A and B are shown apart, each in its own frame.
Chain A
Amino acid sequence: MINRNPQLNKHRKLQHLLTTEELPAAILLQILNTAETFVGVTERDVKKVPLLRGKSIFNLFFEPSTRTRTTFEIAAKRLSADVFNLNIAVSAQSKGETLLDTVNNLAAMDADMFVVRHAQSGAAHLIAKHARPGIHVINAGDGRHAHPTQALLDMFTIRRFKHEFHNLRVAIIGDILHSRVARSQIHALTTLGVPEVRVIAPKTLLPNNVERLGVRVFHDMNSGLENIDVLMMLRLQKERMQGAYLPSSEEYFKNYGLTPEKLSMARPDAIVMHPGPMNRGVEIDSAVADGGQSVILPQVTFGIAIRMAVMSILAGQQV
């Protein structure tokens, strides 16, 4: 069965951002390049451009998240859009309204764009499929599936510090199994031409057939980090200890926590990234998180520029 990529319209332009998978490199680069123009805006005294004046953007967070929601909100406001935050976890859904009813009701309020976060994989695809034409959907994280704006801001950060993709070795470290961030990073990295992407994790935290996504699998930090240019750490959820994935956070830190010693296995100019919020002493040592190779704070800054870029491209208002 041949299905048109639901993210592209018939002119093969971006109409929704749901995942980094199956997006052409040209579109990923278009987003990164557009974001470059917005980094300047965020550094200006007056941090607003009128690109999305009069547009209504709804933040639909079916799963609580302060950070991601806030960065989307800031990005939308800097583009002069009207932003509405709906914390649906505690409103309509608890009254029995279905996901699509909620979305259709909001669409009837003349929404232009939905930013969606949901605990179920595929929720953003479902909304994009059933939303009326003209509405754009941005996936702000669906289950274990995808978190494309996070991956794009990571690509932006890598390009800022490493300039090119084609000569890099990148390692993603931690709970790959449950991570939407890791999946989106893997697709973005391989599409942008990174020749070697590694994942490092114990077997309980790796999905089956993960090598089919184009990565090399390591279970040991020392060999996995050898010659690495970019380290992408993942957050370890506390629930993993209850689900018999891991015995304890202490043992995890001992084997997979990023300490200065383990970091020394990578290339001396390697950069360290983390999508936040960090668990210090679980997946990353404070000495590394706050150290000279960490680019974790710039990631957060670039996150706003990336989200501005995605919103402006979707609304057809590129600079």
Chain B
Amino acid sequence: MKIYIKNGRLVDPKTGTDAIQDVFVAAGKILAVGKSPVAFQPDYVIDAGDLIVCPGLVDMSVRLREPGLEYRATLESEMNAAVAGGVTSFACPPDTDPPLDEPGLVEMLKHRARNLNQAHVYPIGALTQGLLGKYLTEMVELHDAGCIVFGQPDGMVANLRVLMQAMQYASTFGFSVWLSPQDSNLAYEGVAHDGEVATRLGLPAIPVCAETVAISNIILLAKVVNVHIHLCRISSAEGLAMVRAAKQQGVSITCDVSVNHLHLSDMDIDYFDANCHVLPPLRSISDRDALRLGLQDGTIDAICSDHAPVDEDAKMLPFGQAEIGATGVELLLPLTLKYGLEMKRPLVEVLATITAKPAAVLGIDAGYLSPGAAADLCIFDPETYWRVTAGALLSQGKNTPFLGMEIPGKVRYTLVNGNIVYQS
């Protein structure tokens, strides 16, 4: 199908474009930007006047809860939620049940996702078998099945020798390693940041050093092994400073932050709001402010939703027992825009953190709009504010700390491979 997107404000962070320009789509690809190709006969015209046209969003962490945890969400509901949020490519962490540690599981997930014909799904392979931190997975086989990177999402591999060998093996084949920097012994049974709020509420605490000790170990090993490391979900100012220093020393390292940590602090736990039970924990206001600056100076490469739909019953428990995580794939764009507005940053810079930059970290060909690129687009109205309610979310998970808040940015069209997969 040939689509003509006219009158839109085109923002393409990769080329630094921010101008009123038309986009011409044919055969699933961007055919031209700006001037109409000769004799272009569109089958469909999208009038994007007053709307922003940008590359489809790339989300570094979306949990589909498949295989194994379908009662929390279905593949279909979460795929619908993703495109409703303008997300056209995303990575799925391997912490499913069973974990993504066998090629068959990965192939099945890719196959089921492909049949839904929506966003592109990029599974993150388990770094160790069963994510237990003992034995390596068949990374090459998993890669052939569709895993693009390898990770250990639930904190660290406790045995540093195993971690080092996993890094060595991954780097042999050019795979990057994604780690969640949290030392499980220091985090112990903690559920909240080790600050005044946890002290007041009597919540077992996770100290900042659980993150910094882990980052320190990872950086030291990465220097020896020479592997690309991606740190998932930085939460503290101190951890961020360590990544900044490592980058300056030339260590091949990237990191991301979740929308939750970019906007919230432990103060938002208020009277035990279980929707604020996330990992790493929401830290202090000064940590949050440091993370915002880290995004600005480029220390943090990308913003992700850290989408984790949780069944309502699993959140209706005392804070510490409530299941970890927040739904978020539909909030990625609005909360990124909100950050940009609050920090007065140019749109082209802000949108880079959810398009071109995460695509580069993932190593996928996405997140830009030059001719020849896949026609993955997000067209949104930046002026419309909407209220986050259970009914407004397509995800099965209604668990978000942002419930009740008004946020900017409503997706009008999402295109994947030149097909309109969402429209509102």
A6 touches B317 (CB 8 A): no
Report A223-234 CB contacts with B as 1/0, cut-off 8 Å: 000000000000
A21 at the interface (CB under 8 A from B): yes
Interface positions, chain A 121-139, Cβ under 8 Å from B, are 121-123, 125-126, 129-130
B199 touches A121 (CB 8 A): no
B316 touches A180 (CB 8 A): no
Chain A binder among B6-14, B238-246, B264-272, B352-360: B264-272
A98-B316, A143-B318 known; A122-B272 Cβ under 8 A: yes
Contacts of A130 in B (CB 8 A): 316
Report B318-330 CB contacts with A as 1/0, cut-off 8 Å: 1111000000000
Contact of B319 among A1, A120, A146 (CB under 8 A): A120
B306 at the interface (CB under 8 A from A): no
User: Which of A6, A144, A146 neighbours the largest number of chain B CB atoms within 10 Å of its CB?
Assistant: A144
A3 touches B270 (CB 8 A): yes
A297 at the interface (CB under 8 A from B): no
B199 touches A98 (CB 8 A): no
A122 touches B318 (CB 8 A): yes
Cα of A123 to Cα of B321 in the assembled complex, Å: 10
A98 touches B313 (CB 8 A): yes
Distance in angstroms from A125 CB to nearest chain B CB is 5
A210 at the interface (CB under 8 A from B): yes
Contacts of B201 in A (CB 8 A): 121-122, 145
Contacts of B319 in A (CB 8 A): 120-122
Interface size band for A: 20 to 34
B146 at the interface (CB under 8 A from A): no
A208 at the interface (CB under 8 A from B): yes
Contacts of A11 in B (CB 8 A): none
Cα of A1 to Cα of B201 in the assembled complex, Å: 17
User: Which of B202, B203, B268 neighbours the largest number of chain A CB atoms within 10 Å of its CB?
Assistant: B202
Distance in angstroms from A38 CB to nearest chain B CB is 29
Contacts of B340 in A (CB 8 A): none
A180 touches B202 (CB 8 A): yes
Report B270-292 CB contacts with A as 1/0, cut-off 8 Å: 11101000000000000000000
A125 touches B271 (CB 8 A): yes
B320 touches A122 (CB 8 A): yes
A86 at the interface (CB under 8 A from B): no
Distance in angstroms from A298 CB to nearest chain B CB is 27
B50 at the interface (CB under 8 A from A): no
A95 at the interface (CB under 8 A from B): no
Contacts of A144 in B (CB 8 A): 202-204
Contacts of B204 in A (CB 8 A): 144
Interface positions, chain B 187-217, Cβ under 8 Å from A, are 194-196, 198-205, 207
A118 at the interface (CB under 8 A from B): yes
A183 at the interface (CB under 8 A from B): yes
Contacts of A106 in B (CB 8 A): none
B270 touches A1 (CB 8 A): yes
Cα of A192 to Cα of B268 in the assembled complex, Å: 27
Cα of A143 to Cα of B201 in the assembled complex, Å: 9
A126 touches B202 (CB 8 A): no
Cα of A212 to Cα of B319 in the assembled complex, Å: 22
Contacts of A145 in B (CB 8 A): 201-203
Distance in angstroms from A23 CB to nearest chain B CB is 14
**Chain A interface residues toward B at CB < 8 A:** 1, 3, 6, 21, 98-100, 118, 120-123, 125-126, 129-130, 142-146, 180, 183, 207-210, 212-213
Q: Which 10 A-B pairs have the closest CB atoms?
A: A144-B202, A145-B202, A122-B272, A120-B318, A207-B199, A121-B202, A123-B318, A122-B319, A209-B196, A212-B196
**Chain B interface residues toward A at CB < 8 A:** 194-196, 198-205, 207, 268, 270-272, 274, 313, 316-321
5 A-B pairs, CB-CB below 8 angstroms?
A126-B274, A143-B202, A145-B202, A208-B205, A209-B199
